[in-house]
Chain A
């Protein structure tokens, strides 16, 4: 297998004095989807925020395409080809839909119109509502703006924090389809999901987190078949 595009090794991070995540190691490969599942408070979002540079790692290394990005701030991480979609407050509410997408293209304004067309192709409603302020959109449409912004660059790594949160079942399906579509273009996707079963179904790899640590790493199909995982984290006990 080719080298991982994103390689996280023994990363510790947290807020204030304590660490929330302990010695987390994981990988994401080009053209593949990796998903982190686990109970609330396990530190899943903290992992993804640390990779994105929103939170600085205390120890450990985060390598993207062979370059160390651990310790960089969020805007520098973005410039290294890592595109992050936060779970909350993930649009500029006062800016119009199109202005949001322009902000998405901040680090790379080449091919702006082609990328805009691509995002409009994925989410046609964003074209219809181009001049609406993002704050006035529905939750689902806001999620599309957030996702669309992240696709206004050609990221190497796409980080998604609960992309299905707050979406209707139909929209969840659509969102996962879009993730798969985007992934098929060769982007490495790492996502955190509550919707564990659906997420694992489109994933290649899965990581199970509990209490700030990765307790299990396997390919996604195996995790779906793993009885212990099903019982504890997927809620599928018959």
Chain B
């Protein structure tokens, strides 16, 4: 097997994993697929660009600031857009979220134009090892994806707010009955997921280029990873990200690379036919 493709696949997976986890968490608590993730990620990338290039902050500080700002924007999008629409069906909210992503993308386009940009970071030679080429940024992406996966696991398993998130996703009425303030839990979930989308914007900006379609282009693989793992299951999302990330790169062996973007769609199509609740998801129980 071509080891370079394998490494590319890992990097790709690492890029997809944090937003797929966030997408899944958000779905679990809010019960609709939020396609505004493209807009959120792009907002995160441009926020980091503004802090890094326009304000001259170091990249790390810019990334942290971008995560905070994106978390806030994502939380605000719930307050302004989704909260007034609670009680509407998931399909309505899905359409609304697509509209939101277009609005976010075009606001960014108005401010920054469609020009391709990059962060202000020193160019470094990629590391070469046994014929495999990997950049320092890509190593950062892998390390951060692992950190996000571990942090999310610790959050969900061992903290009160994390358990409350799982309880609220599982049974919101019972969560209220047990005294959990689900409004606060929902607010925290938007903030946390928003920060992950912000981080993804920064990482995607490092690996690719910063432009208004940055997030949109990642939406399908993220969605595919989330539903492959079983939507609403953050652990499934991690697994799904690895599989989609690898599949996208490895199909280059058998298909022209221009078909790469279709891989996510194919995975979604096959899954919806064969196993609609994903690999680790629970089948929906309807009465």
Contacts and interface: CB of A to CB of B under 8 A. Distances in A.
Interface of A: 52-54, 73-75, 78-79, 84, 86, 89-95, 99, 102-104, 106-107, 135, 149, 153
Interface in B136-166: 160, 163-164, 166
Interface of B: 160, 163-164, 166-167, 169-171, 173-182, 282
- The B contact surface, by secondary structure, is helix
A95 B170 contact: yes
Nearest to B180: A106
Q: Specify which of A86, A102, A106 lies most central, judged by the most chain B CB atoms within 10 Å of its CB.
A: A106
Contact of B170 (A52, A53, A92): A92
A39 B179 CA distance: 31
Contact of A93 (B160, B164, B171, B181): B171
Q: Which 9 residue pairs are nearest across A and B when measured between Cβ atoms?
A: A78-B179, A107-B179, A74-B176, A92-B170, A75-B176, A94-B170, A106-B179, A74-B177, A92-B167
B163 A84 contact: no
B281 to A, nearest CB: 11
Contacts of B166: 92, 94-95, 99
A4 B5 CA distance: 73
A54 B177 contact: yes
A137 to B, nearest CB: 14
A99 B169 CA distance: 14
A154 to B, nearest CB: 13
A104 B176 contact: no
A73 B176 contact: yes
Contacts of A103: 163-164, 167, 175, 178, 180
17 contacts: A53-B176, A74-B177, A75-B176, A75-B180, A78-B177, A79-B179, A86-B174, A89-B171, A90-B174, A92-B166, A92-B171, A94-B166, A94-B170, A106-B160, A106-B180, A107-B178, A135-B282
A10 to B, nearest CB: 24
B246 to A, nearest CB: 28
Contacts of B174: 86, 89-92
B167 A95 contact: yes
B184 to A, nearest CB: 9
B235 to A, nearest CB: 11
Given A107-B179, A149-B178, A102 B163 contact: yes
A74 B170 contact: no
B173 A54 contact: yes
Contact of B182 (A75, A94, A102): A75
Given A75-B176, A84-B177, 13 more contacts: A54-B173, A75-B175, A89-B174, A90-B174, A92-B170, A92-B175, A94-B282, A95-B166, A95-B170, A103-B164, A103-B167, A103-B178, A106-B180
A89 B173 contact: yes
Nearest to A153: B179
Contacts of A93: 170-171, 282
Nearest to A78: B179
A78 B179 CA distance: 5
Nearest to B176: A74
Q: Specify which of B163, B164, B176, B282 lies most central, judged by the most chain A CB atoms within 10 Å of its CB.
A: B176
A75 B167 contact: no
B170 A106 contact: no
A95 B177 contact: no
Contacts of B178: 75, 78, 103-104, 106-107, 149
A79 B173 CA distance: 15
A78 to B, nearest CB: 3
A133 to B, nearest CB: 10
A78 B170 CA distance: 19
Contacts of B171: 89, 91-93
